[in-house]
Structure 1
């Protein structure tokens, strides 16, 4: 579909297809925002702090599956247009038809699919998937821009702008808070300062992981890769007495563990 055709009214033959594409696109927008929110809340352990219950990774996976399903339906709907149909190549190759907003949507959806595939193979990759998993932030950014450009091109911006902003604000806020250091959040009054953070680092620190609580999500490895490692069998291996320079990273890993399975023991100087 050319840029000029995107601004033309939908023909009577394609009205139903256009409505399916619009509805599935809006559901994708909602699901991806909820997926990001739940993922951040689960990865940081904030769900447990707010509710007293351990975060369930299943919720994040389920929301991601809905995002993939609705996003795929949104793309496939264009194949059924009668007057100005998309080709398979148009849906798979960004910028093939020269429309930037379509290219952003294609790239974003393909990146989400790639992130989901690597997440499914995480045990075989010894937790290295976590680095690429963070590309999900970029994917959601691309899809959000695609959705807003689509609303502008289709003349729906006046109808959906308020809902779009309302839904997008929480994931953007959580994403910003996710990358801020814990001391910054404590100074801002968003989290309580840990007594351990206010005292000198211990002369010796011993790490103990509750194997019954640990679900091998790999969050600790992303925070302290020199101390925590997921093996090929999916079992967590870790240094029980880390080096002094690794103590701040180990504390960050203990804070980030969604299952609260990491216990730190040691005497302060």
Structure 2
């Protein structure tokens, strides 16, 4: 009798796992996860292209930023749908706390990676709305946590695919999406010299010598210094100059660019690198000598 009851209980569990309701829930979770993964990759690529100005010829700067934000919101929406879909499954025990709190109620590490990644993405997206009240450099550093969020989400996706037997599918589609993302992200932080070699920035720096110093003249205390000017009509405030030469260029909280028109000699190389990297060719660096 007990054996029959055990068999019936096991059969009930199998039927529950294969019920149309749970199958539908899992399909929704799987589809939303794949869409979130794709949108996440597109968001990162679009953000890099927008920040560097490499797609500036396609449309306006505001449209680029709006597109980046739209993709980010879609990523968060599909990611949230993926997580909360499991609450409605009857064959597994997933509550709101387990969905939102890492490692809660015996949650796995792969679940925690996805939860933290999605929460970081949400925080970064919210920070865009309050950017005007934050110091730009502080906001920029916080915004860059999005790279960590993407990394955690990729780990979650791959570990989840391995656990669910879908690793082959992710290897085919996932790698296709991740490779350009990693490539562009790496290019975003490469030194200007390497960017010049690969042709992403001009090899000719915007440097205009004014005059050469007479070798017979005594040393000039201003020798080696440079003069910096920015064409306000060309400048789109992408912030690449601040990354290359933070001691010379600063984007303030209201979006305006402040820069040192006569930086110290030790920052001359950085100023020239910023001029080379500027996608709008708005920066001019002049070597100062003795007339």
Shorter-chain TM-score range: 0.7 to 0.9
1:265, distance to aligned residue in structure 2 (A): 4.1
TM-superposition CA deviations, 1:24-67 (whole Å, max 9, x none): 1000110111111111112122224xx56555222211111111
Say which structure, 1 or 2, has more relative contact order (CA 8 Å, 6+ apart): 1
TM-score normalised by L of structure 2: 0.77
TM-superposition CA deviations, 1:57-116 (whole Å, max 9, x none): 222111111111111111121221223241111112111123111011001111111221
Name the counterpart of 1:109.
118
Contact 2:201 2:276 in 1 (8 A): no
1:261, distance to aligned residue in structure 2 (A): 7.0
Q: Do the aligned partners of residues 132 and 249 (structure 1) sit closer, same or farther apart at CA in structure 2, a change above 3 Å counting?
A: farther
Distance 1:106 1:226 in 2: 37
2:145 maps to which of 123, 132, 135: 135
| RMSD between superposed Cα atoms in Å | 2.9
The 3-state SS of whatever aligns with 1:194 is coil
Name the counterpart of 1:221.
242
1:120 maps to which of 126, 129, 143: 129
Distance 2:249 2:157 in 1: 39
Task: List runs of 5+ in structure 1 lacking aligned partners.
Answer: 1-7
The 3-state SS of whatever aligns with 2:283 is strand
Contact 1:43 1:257 in 2 (8 A): no
Q: Do the aligned partners of residues 255 and 204 (structure 1) sit closer, same or farther apart at CA in structure 2, a change above 3 Å counting?
A: closer
Distance 2:100 2:250 in 1: 36
Contact 1:45 1:256 in 2 (8 A): no
1:253, distance to aligned residue in structure 2 (A): 3.8
Task: List runs of 5+ in structure 2 lacking aligned partners.
Answer: 1-13, 210-222
Name the counterpart of 1:237.
258
Rg larger for? 2
Distance 1:255 1:113 in 2: 34
Q: Do the aligned partners of residues 194 and 22 (structure 1) sit closer, same or farther apart at CA in structure 2, a change above 3 Å counting?
A: same
Distance 1:41 1:60 in 2: 10
Name the counterpart of 2:39.
31
Q: Do the aligned partners of residues 199 and 153 (structure 1) sit closer, same or farther apart at CA in structure 2, a change above 3 Å counting?
A: farther
Aligned pairs for 1:109-188 within 5 A: 109-127=118-136, 128-187=138-197
TM-score normalised by L of structure 1: 0.83
The 3-state SS of whatever aligns with 1:47 is coil
| 1:66 maps onto 2:74 in alignment | yes
TM-superposition CA deviations, 1:119-139 (whole Å, max 9, x none): 322221121211121111111
Moved runs in structure 1, 4+ residues, more than 6 A?
Answer: 197-202
